[in-house]
Amino acid sequence: MSPRASLVVFALASLAGLAHLAHAGEAPAAAAPVPAGPAPAPAAPAGAAAGAPAGDAQLEAPTVRDGREILAASERWLGLIDSGKLGAAWDGGANLLKQAVTRNDWIKGIGDARKPFGKLASRNRERFARTHKIPGAPDGDYAIIEFSSTFTNGKTAVEQVAWMLDTDGGIWRVSGYYIR
């Protein structure tokens, strides 16, 4: 991975320090593999502009109380990453993510970080944790989901998606992504 890609990946809400948090939770009861292939199209949020390009639509955000929605939303969001819709993944991100990295740097950094892994073969949810403190990020409400992923070229990776309850109306949004 290039130094630039490393910087972008690690700058995202300090996800490099999240591994111990993700291990604190239990694996979801139904940790079935998510089949490779196109992700279902994300639903447009209430108030989304009619006729907006699908690639620019924000993902339907999970509610505050339902961890299952966060898990499902994580799989939909990772579907954007898997299909190369990196700009759309950033567009729906939290303000914290957008302050940490520009859209163009996100696209370049995540593209560079994911390229060596190739096409997704399978993904399993491994851990889920909630916390109010993440090293290097402001205190808030966070959910961290860890996945074990296998790619068609035989490589494996651990992916973490961090969600935060954003400050603009209490909507859960992705605040970071980490792959190793």
What confidence score (pLDDT) does residue 28 get? 33
Please count the helices (runs of H) and the strands (runs of E) in the chain: 6, 5
pLDDT tens digits in sequence order for the chain, 180 residues long: 433 333 333 334 334 344 333 433 333 333 222 223 333 333 333 333 333 333 444 455 555 456 888 999 999 999 999 999 999 999 999 999 999 999 999 999 999 999 999 999 999 999 999 999 988 889 999 999 999 999 999 999 999 999 999 888 788 999 999 999
Domains of the chain in start order, with CATH, are 3-45+52-179 (3.10.450.100)
Are 74 and 144 contacting, i.e. CB atoms less than 8 angstroms apart? no
Q: How remote is the C-alpha of 103 from its chain's centroid?
A: 15
What confidence score (pLDDT) does residue 63 get? 53
**What is the rounded CA–CA span in Å between residue 97 and residue 11?**
9
